[in-house]
């Protein structure tokens, strides 16, 4: 008998016939079998190398024989076995795969067992459907294929909950946690999970890895995580927040709620299970890329455990065992800490009033002297953001006590700012509209979007003590005190239009922050939707009402930009005189545009020329306008 044997099930006879026609096929002995008994009866004492083709179960039977006789094995995959090809970097072309399978392996690799069953690909426990959908060859696919996979995984969703697992490593390190599912892998098998954890995997390190899939909300499981997979680059990927892992040479796993375990997508094992790795025992003919991907070699990391993102406390495990919420659930400790802080911020205090009046004074004087740096200083000093964030949480939780305290504090604070600015405007003998004042008299939808973004940032910063100082930056971005100061100045000057425009900007900022911060706190898990929806719906309606005048202002802004672009980029010829417009300013009086500009001319214009120029400008703009011009002559 020849020293190389090709073992195969007779079901693959047609494929084997094509292999027999290849070069060097006559140098090996082809042996077919039907039953396990036939396979066991094959004489292998003289064999030095085995080759096989078959299903994953059949290949593992041949591997057991190779291990028993301490000989190497090569695999010629079927064209449909894409995972197997990817796993061991095998050639897709049968001729090349056969040539590789005949070569004697130079190195041995680790082999993973689940109880006594060989594991080539992975062991799956619980619900790992999302990761399953985003695996082999996924990152090389086009964005359209990725989106199709994403949609398919979304459609296959089913009620999810956490299961309680207990794992124990070979060093007797026992951990209890909850997760949706677990995946056991030994090396980079070509899946997305393996690519993310590649730096922790080795081919000859005597260890395997138990990946823990532990999302804390449906949003994280079905939206955040798939989007990372959908658009992410596996080469630069960090460990997602919904994953953890345990790395060891031996891991015992217990879970009373999940009796069955899937091995290599086919075979089943019964819980509890024991994963163990036999180091460097499998002599397998693999492609060069298989070894090139083994960058970590696992030598520097023994018995590593990463459970930072995995629920381990009793409260979280009990809550998630009932089912994943739409958004994550804040822990009792987080809830207590944040609520204590927000309740304090909602209550009116002497410190709040002193700081607010000082900030109002600084802001109003900064408006008069037209100094942006002084106004920014007032924004940093003003504490008005604090009760507004408290109001957003009160709206979310329908907490009437905190809501009434926050509204009271905000109302008194607003009154104090407006009155302070009004008094200062009465004593300052200057009635001049500065650019800092006028910039706060035309709120648009863009200001509402700024307020919404600032509300998200404020809630996020308030929830994280490490970035709590960022609230100062949020206060600068949204500018609560300056528009109130402008409103107070307008009141002191008895200009209702100035007061109402500036106060509308403050209302825009207020409602945008409250709505956005409330929704952010809800996503962070501080309130279930059934409690939050009433408050959020109410403030969404308020925001929509406020957006009506803002939309009108936004359309006016668009119209002003259009007019300014037309006038700036146009040169006019009037009675052989070349004219151009500069320093264009557009104001509106009762909806009719008023254009203030400089006319630079090569000659003196007569009244007829001026009338003709106005007619040309009106036609180019497409509507009637008032024009106030200063004439300058080019010498």
Q: Which two tokens stand for residue 422?
A: 């009004």
Give the phi and the psi of residue 8 in degrees, each rounded to 5. Answer: -155, 150
CA distance 512 to 452: 5
Domain coverage including residue 37: 4-104
Whether 355 and 409 map to the same domain: the answer is yes
Confidence label for 512 from pLDDT (cuts 50, 70 and 90): very high
Q: How many independent structural domains does the chain possess?
A: 4
Select from 447, 310, 303, 426 the least CA-distant residue to 368: 426
- Boundary-marking domain end, from 495, 525, 553: 553
Confidence label for 138 from pLDDT (cuts 50, 70 and 90): very low
C-beta separation of 620 from 564 below 8 A: no
Q: Which two tokens stand for residue 54?
A: 């078959």
C-beta separation of 63 from 282 below 8 A: yes
The tens digit of pLDDT for each residue in 55-71 reads 999 999 999 999 999 99
pLDDT at 139 over 60: no
The answer as to whether 560 is a domain residue is no
- Boundary-marking domain end, from 506, 527, 553: 553
The answer as to whether 112 is a domain residue is no
End-to-end CA distance of the chain: 109
What is the percentage of the chain residues whose pLDDT exceeds 90?
Answer: 38
Whether 524 and 574 map to the same domain: the answer is no
pLDDT of residue 275: 95
Residue 163: strand, helix, or coil: strand
CA distance 217 to 202: 32
What is the percentage of the chain residues whose pLDDT exceeds 70?
Answer: 86
Select from 133, 129, 86, 309 the least CA-distant residue to 216: 309
Cβ neighbourhood burial of 481 (10 Å; 0-12, 13-18, 19+) = buried
Q: Which two tokens stand for residue 67?
A: 């291990």
Residue 472: strand, helix, or coil: helix
pLDDT of residue 135: 47
CA distance 477 to 451: 8
Whether 90 and 121 map to the same domain: the answer is no
Whether 495 and 617 map to the same domain: the answer is no
Q: Give the DSSP per-residue string, 205-267.
A: SS-EEEEEE--SSHHIIIIIHHHHHHH--GGGPPPPTTEEEEEESEEEEE-TT--EEEETTTE
- Boundary-marking domain end, from 76, 104, 132: 104
Whether 82 and 230 map to the same domain: the answer is no
The tens digit of pLDDT for each residue in 5-14 reads 999 999 999 9
CATH of the domain at 49: 3.40.50
Give the phi and the psi of residue 5 in degrees, each rounded to 5. Answer: -115, 135
The tens digit of pLDDT for each residue in 423-471 reads 999 998 888 888 899 888 888 899 999 999 888 888 888 877 666 555 5
Over residues 573-591, the mean pLDDT reads: 81
CATH of the domain at 230: 2.60.200.40
Parallel/antiparallel/unpaired status of strands 108-114 and 273-283: antiparallel
Name beta bridge partners: 119: 112
For 264: left if phi > 0, alpha if psi spans -120 to 50, otherwise beta; the answer is: left
CATH of the domain at 525: 1.20.1080
The answer as to whether 325 is a domain residue is no
Confidence label for 72 from pLDDT (cuts 50, 70 and 90): very high
C-beta separation of 550 from 428 below 8 A: no
Over residues 28-45, the mean pLDDT reads: 90
Over the chain, what is the mean pLDDT? 84
Confidence label for 409 from pLDDT (cuts 50, 70 and 90): very high
C-beta separation of 62 from 7 below 8 A: yes
Whether 472 and 615 map to the same domain: the answer is no
Give the phi and the psi of residue 383 in degrees, each rounded to 5. Answer: -95, 20
Whether 199 and 273 map to the same domain: the answer is yes
Over residues 306-326, the mean pLDDT reads: 82
The answer as to whether 111 is a domain residue is no
The tens digit of pLDDT for each residue in 258-267 reads 878 999 888 8
The tens digit of pLDDT for each residue in 229-248 reads 544 544 545 667 788 899 99
Whether 127 and 193 map to the same domain: the answer is yes
Task: State the DSSP H helix or E strand holding residue 549, giving kind and residue range, or none if neither.
Answer: helix 529-568
pLDDT of residue 296: 46
Whether 142 and 169 map to the same domain: the answer is yes
The single-letter DSSP state of residue 493 is T
pLDDT at 361 over 50: yes
pLDDT at 345 over 80: yes
Q: Which two tokens stand for residue 390?
A: 């408290």
pLDDT at 213 over 90: no
C-beta separation of 62 from 8 below 8 A: no
Name beta bridge partners: 473: none
The answer as to whether 83 is a domain residue is yes
Whether 172 and 68 map to the same domain: the answer is no
The answer as to whether 110 is a domain residue is no
pLDDT of residue 143: 58
Select from 372, 285, 268 the least CA-distant residue to 76: 285
Lowest-confidence pick of 60-74, 398-412, 525-539: 525-539
Task: State the DSSP H helix or E strand holding residue 506, giving kind and residue range, or none if neither.
Answer: helix 496-523
Confidence label for 300 from pLDDT (cuts 50, 70 and 90): very low
CA distance 420 to 384: 15
Whether 495 and 459 map to the same domain: the answer is yes
Task: State the DSSP H helix or E strand holding residue 610, giving kind and residue range, or none if neither.
Answer: helix 607-621
Whether 307 and 417 map to the same domain: the answer is no
pLDDT of residue 134: 46
Angle in degrees, CA 623, 628, 632, rounded to 5: 120
C-beta separation of 255 from 161 below 8 A: no
The answer as to whether 109 is a domain residue is no
Q: Which residue has the tokens 């375990």?
A: 261
The answer as to whether 25 is a domain residue is yes
Order the strands of the 592-601 sheet from edge to edge.
571-574, 577-589, 592-601, 626-633
Parallel/antiparallel/unpaired status of strands 626-633 and 163-169: unpaired
């Amino acid at each position: 008998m020849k020293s190389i044997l090709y073992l195969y099930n007779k079901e693959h006879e047609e494929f084997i016939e094509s292999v027999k026609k290849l070069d060097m096929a006559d140098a090996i002995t082809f042996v077919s079998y039907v039953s396990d008994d036939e396979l066991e009866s094959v004489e292998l004492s003289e064999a030095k190398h085995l080759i096989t083709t078959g299903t994953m179960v059949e290949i593992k039977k041949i591997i057991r024989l190779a291990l028993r006789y301490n000989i190497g094995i090569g695999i010629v995959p079927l064209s449909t076995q894409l995972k197997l090809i990817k796993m061991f970097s095998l050639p897709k072309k049968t001729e090349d795969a056969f040539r590789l399978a005949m070569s004697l392996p130079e190195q041995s690799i680790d082999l993973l067992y689940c109880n006594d069953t060989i594991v080539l690909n992975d062991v799956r426990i619980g619900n790992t459907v999302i990761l399953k959908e985003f695996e082999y060859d996924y990152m090389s696919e086009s964005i359209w294929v990725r989106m199709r996979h994403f949609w398919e995984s979304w459609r296959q969703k089913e009620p999810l909950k956490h299961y309680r697992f207990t794992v124990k490593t070979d060093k007797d390190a026992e951990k209890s946690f909850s997760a949706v599912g677990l995946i056991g892998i030994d090396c980079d098998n070509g899946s997305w999970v393996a690519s993310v954890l590649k730096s922790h995997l080795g081919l000859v390190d005597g260890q395997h890895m138990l990946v823990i899939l532990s999302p804390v909300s449906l949003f994280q499981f079905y939206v955040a995580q798939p989007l990372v997979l959908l658009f992410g680059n596996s080469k630069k990927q960090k460990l997602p927040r919904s994953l953890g892992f345990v790395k060891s040479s031996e891991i015992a796993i217990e879970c009373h709620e999940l009796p069955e375990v899937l091995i290599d997508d086919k075979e089943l094992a019964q819980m509890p299970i024991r994963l163990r790795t036999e180091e460097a025992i499998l002599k397998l003919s693999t492609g060069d890329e298989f070894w090139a991907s083994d960058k970590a070699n696992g030598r520097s990391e023994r018995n590593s455990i990463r459970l930072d993102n995995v629920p381990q406390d009793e409260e979280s495990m009990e809550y998630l065992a009932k089912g994943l919420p739409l958004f994550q659930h804040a822990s009792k400790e987080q809830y207590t800490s944040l609520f204590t802080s927000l309740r304090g911020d909602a209550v009116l205090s002497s410190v709040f009033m002193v700081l607010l009046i000082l900030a109002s004074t600084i802001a109003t004087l900064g408006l008069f002297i037209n100094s942006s740096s002084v106004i920014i200083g007032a924004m940093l000093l003003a504490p008005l953001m604090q009760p507004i964030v408290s109001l957003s949480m009160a709206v979310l939780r329908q907490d009437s006590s905190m809501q009434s305290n926050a509204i009271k504090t905000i109302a008194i604070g607003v009154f104090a700012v407006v009155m302070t600015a009004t008094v200062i405007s009465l004593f300052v003998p200057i009635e001049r509209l500065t650019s800092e004042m006028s910039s706060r008299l035309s709120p648009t939808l863009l200001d509402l979007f700024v307020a919404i973004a600032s509300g998200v940032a404020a809630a996020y910063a308030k929830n994280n003590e490490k970035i709590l100082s960022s609230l100062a930056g949020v206060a600068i971005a949204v500018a609560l005190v300056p528009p109130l100061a402008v409103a107070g100045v307008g009141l002191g000057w008895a200009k209702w239009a100035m007061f109402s425009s500036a106060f509308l900007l403050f209302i825009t900022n207020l409602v945008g922050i409250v709505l956005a911060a409330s929704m952010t706190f809800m996503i962070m898990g501080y309130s279930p939707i059934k409690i939050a929806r009433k408050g959020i719906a109410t403030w969404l309606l308020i925001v929509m009402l406020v957006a009506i005048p803002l939309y009108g202002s936004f359309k006016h802004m668009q119209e002003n930009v259009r007019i300014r672009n037309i006038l700036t980029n146009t040169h006019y010829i009037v009675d052989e005189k070349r004219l151009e417009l500069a320093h264009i300013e557009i104001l509106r009086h009762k909806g009719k545009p008023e254009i203030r500009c400089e006319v630079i001319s090569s000659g003196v214009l007569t009244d007829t020329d001026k009338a003709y120029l106005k007619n040309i400008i009106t036609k180019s703009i497409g509507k009637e306008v008032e024009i106030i011009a200063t004439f300058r002559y080019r010498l």
